[in-house]
């Protein structure tokens, strides 16, 4: 069976990572663009959130799809990491990276941090289970509310530790995208031959735009631009 | 020039190994790296010690026999250069040079700096060939090949199978090697009949040999003495995907006289 042939090979496993990774890239771009409505005030942001919730089954299909993509992505990352560890049981005393980027070398640990971030993020803004109290509480938005997304964001990012965690996580997302958005196209064999194969333009733009868009919100709240 | 060497010494495949320090004194900057080791070895032999074992043959960068990790870089500091073509003028007087064998589970150490690269041969044997009836080969000029394809095929065919790509890869992946072999045949008309079966079988063998996967670090193409591009990896992946999706398993049996 072809799916099994793929699953059994390192190339196939990496292709699963690439496809699921690209699904997450598309999601992350959309999520970032949607979130920027926080800058347009409570009316727009809460209407957007209400609209997403009103899609009912569609929302759940999207959520399950993202969950499946994430689980497969992490599972393949884990399996390939085991394979690669076994491939060099005795390491060099000295090995000097020549051209590999910081981004490519932090895919694994950065990926683990992203996983921790994703779990925290869902418990934080989706369910409100973990909602660190603001160190500068705001009388207007005292606690988590399932209907006031705008207010949740404002009160969440008054806590400097929460802001720091989000900012650091987005730096790792920047790195992950800088490598991943480019490498996934090559993994899937969709790239054209290039005189400078390590050069990437599109994925640099994607990574920087996503990073700026996501980072802007906690930073803007913290410094009182969004209140 | 005078150098301090830290060389991996390992008496045999099962034996424990370790870095040992040697002084390489009065070395001419015009010597090649292997000639420098020859000088060190002569002195070791004179002193009644075992010489440092390393692989070499042509010493002109075309056979792929030589190769060692020099100061953490496969084939040392010169770009697009096999160890035998590396010259001592690339180093400075007084330098310390760490010399280690290629490290991979698929490349067990035989002795000192000599590793067994049979895994690469087995990948070739799994599909790195074309079938042509002997004695009745048609005139090569009768088969048109586009300039782009022939250039790309020749670039891939420059692979000398030294294993530097595996050695330099943080994952110990043989993707550049396997991709080069798959591409140089797969780009040419003569390689078409077995194209997808070849990709399937060579990739399967590559995995069986316990090489790691490709993260696209790019270290392999930088280490390659023949400057083979990671484009061959994309090509391999494309052919492998096609093969996995279209080839029924009965057609995946290996080639030969069919
Ligand atoms: C959930 C936690 C995550 C983990 C543990 C993780 C882990 C990894 C690892 C280890 C790799 C490199 C695989 C390799 O070549 O060795 C990778 C690649 C990739 N990741 Fe993630 N990742 C995570 C989340 C994400 C997210 C949120 C996105 C998208 C926004 C993403 C997109 C990608 C892409 C596109 C690739 C490239 C695949 C390829 O090179 O073919 N990942 N991931
Ligand atoms: S000895 Fe032949 S390539 Fe170096």
**B39-91 residue pLDDT tens:** 999 999 999 999 999 999 999 999 999 999 999 999 999 999 999 999 999 99
Average pLDDT over residues A4-19: 97
**Which is more confident, B29 or B138?**
B29
- Kindly list the distances between the CA atom of residue A91 and the CA atoms of A74, B8, B100, B206, in Å, as whole numbers in the listed order: 25, 12, 10, 20
- pLDDT score at A132: 84
- Provide, as residue numbers in chain A, all residues whose Cβ is less than 8 Å from the Cβ of B203: 9, 11
**pLDDT tens digits, one per residue of A46-77:** 999 999 999 989 999 999 999 999 999 999 99
Residue A1 lies in a domain: no
In whole angstroms, give the CA distance from residue B204 to residue A12.
Answer: 11
- pLDDT score at B116: 98
Helices (H) and strands (E) in chain A, counts: 9, 0
Residue A188 lies in a domain: yes
Instruction: Mutation target for A interface from B217, B231, B245: give the one with most A CBs within 10 A.
Output: B217
- Kindly list the distances between the CA atom of residue B57 and the CA atoms of A126, A204, B241, in Å, as whole numbers in the listed order: 65, 44, 37
Residue A197 lies in a domain: yes
Residue A95 lies in a domain: no
Residue A94 lies in a domain: no
B258 burial level (CB within 10 Å; 0-12, 13-18, 19+): exposed
Residue A93 lies in a domain: no
> Are B212 and A9 a contacting pair at CB < 8 A?
no
Average pLDDT over residues A122-139: 81
- pLDDT score at B17: 96
Q: Which domain CATH number covers A160? A: 1.20.1300
In whole angstroms, give the CA distance from residue B235 to residue B155.
Answer: 13
Residue A139 lies in a domain: yes
Whether B163 contacts B180, CB under 8 Å:
no
Instruction: Mutation target for B interface from A1, A3, A10, A78: give the one with most B CBs within 10 A.
Output: A10
Residue A114 lies in a domain: yes
Query: Which protein residue has the closest C-alpha to ligand 2 atom 3?
Result: B61
- pLDDT score at A134: 65
Q: Is the whole model's pTM more than 0.90, yes or no?
A: yes
- pLDDT score at A48: 97
> Are B218 and A198 a contacting pair at CB < 8 A?
yes
Whether A144 contacts A153, CB under 8 Å:
no
Q: Percentage of residues in chain B with pLDDT exceeding 90?
A: 90
- Kindly list the distances between the CA atom of residue A221 and the CA atoms of A160, A217, B133, in Å, as whole numbers in the listed order: 10, 6, 74
CA of A86 to the centre of ligand 1 (A): 20
Query: Which protein residue has the closest C-alpha to ligand 1 atom 20?
Result: A21
**pLDDT tens digits, one per residue of A158-217:** 999 999 999 999 999 999 999 999 999 999 999 999 999 999 999 999 999 999 999 999
Which residues are within 8 A (CB) of A120 and not within 5 positions of it... i.e. 6 or more apart?
A130, A165
Strands B96-100 and B3-9: parallel
Please indicate whether residue A103, judged by its CB atom, sits closer than 6 Å to ligand 1.
no
Average pLDDT over residues B143-165: 96
Q: Percentage of residues in chain B with pLDDT exceeding 70?
A: 95
Whether B171 contacts A107, CB under 8 Å:
no
Say yes or no to pLDDT of B252 above 50. no
Q: Domain range for residue A62?
A: 6-88+100-222
Domains and CATH numbers, chain B: 3-111 (3.10.20.30), 118-253 (1.10.1060.10)
What total number of domains does chain A contain?
1
> What mean pLDDT, rounded, does chain B reach?
94
Atom of ligand 1 nearest to the CA of A210: 30
Nearest to B103 among A15, A80, A92 (CB): A92
Instruction: For B7, list phi and psi in degrees, rounded to 5.
Output: -115, 140
Say yes or no to pLDDT of B250 above 60. no
**pLDDT tens digits, one per residue of A134-155:** 656 666 666 788 999 999 999 9
Average pLDDT over residues B203-232: 98
Say yes or no to pLDDT of B255 above 50. no
Diameter of chain B by CA atoms?
Answer: 63
């Amino acid at each position: 069976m072809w799916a099994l042939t793929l699953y059994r090979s390192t190339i196939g496993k990496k292709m699963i990572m690439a496809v699921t990774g690209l699904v997450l890239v598309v999601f992350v771009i959309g999520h970032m663009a949607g979130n920027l409505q926080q800058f347009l005030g409570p009316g727009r942001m809460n209407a957007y959130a209400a609209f997403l919730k009103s899609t009912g089954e569609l929302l759940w299909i999207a959520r399950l799809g993202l969950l499946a993509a994430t689980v497969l992505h992490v599972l393949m990352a884990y399996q390939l990491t085991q394979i690669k560890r076994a491939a060099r049981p005795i390491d060099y005393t000295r090995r000097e990276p020549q051209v590999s980027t910081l981004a490519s070398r932090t895919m694994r640990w950065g990926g683990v941090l992203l996983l921790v971030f994703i779990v925290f993020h869902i418990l934080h803004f989706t369910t409100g289970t973990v909602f660190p109290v603001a160190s500068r509480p705001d009388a207007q938005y005292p606690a988590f509310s399932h209907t006031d997304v705008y207010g949740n964001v404002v009160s969440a990012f008054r806590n400097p530790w929460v802001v720091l965690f989000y900012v650091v996580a987005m730096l790792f997302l920047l790195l992950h995208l800088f490598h991943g958005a480019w490498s996934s196209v090559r993994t899937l064999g969709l790239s054209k031959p290039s005189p400078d194969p390590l050069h990437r333009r599109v994925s640099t733009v994607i990574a920087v735009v996503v990073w700026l868009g996501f980072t802007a919100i906690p930073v803007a709240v913290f410094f009182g631009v969004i209140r | 020039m005078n150098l301090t060497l830290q060389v991996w010494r390992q008496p045999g495949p099962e034996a424990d190994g370790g870095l040992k320090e040697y002084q390489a004194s009065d070395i001419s900057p015009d010597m090649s790296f292997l000639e420098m080791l020859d000088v060190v070895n002569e002195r070791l032999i004179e002193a009644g010690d075992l010489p440092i074992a390393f692989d070499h043959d042509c010493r002109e960068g075309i056979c792929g026999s030589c190769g060692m990790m020099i100061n953490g870089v496969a084939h040392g500091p010169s770009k697009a250069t096999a160890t035998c073509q590396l010259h001592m003028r690339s180093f400075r007087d007084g330098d310390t040079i760490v010399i280690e064998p290629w490290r991979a589970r698929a490349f067990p150490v035989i002795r000192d700096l000599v590793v067994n690269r049979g895994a690469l041969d087995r990948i070739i044997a799994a599909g790195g060939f074309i079938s042509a009836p002997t004695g009745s080969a048609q005139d090569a000029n009768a088969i048109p090949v586009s300039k782009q394809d022939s250039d790309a095929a020749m670039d891939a065919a420059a692979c000398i199978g030294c294993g530097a790509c595996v050695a330099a890869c943080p994952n110990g992946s043989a993707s550049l090697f396997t991709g080069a072999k798959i591409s140089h045949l797969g780009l040419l008309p003569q390689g078409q009949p077995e194209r997808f079966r070849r990709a399937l079988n060579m990739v399967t063998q590559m995995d069986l040999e316990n090489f790691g996967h490709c993260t696209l670090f790019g270290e392999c193409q930088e280490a390659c003495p023949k400057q083979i591009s990671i484009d061959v990896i994309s090509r391999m992946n494309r052919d492998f995907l096609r093969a996995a999706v279209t080839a029924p398993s009965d057609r995946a049996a290996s080639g030969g006289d069919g």
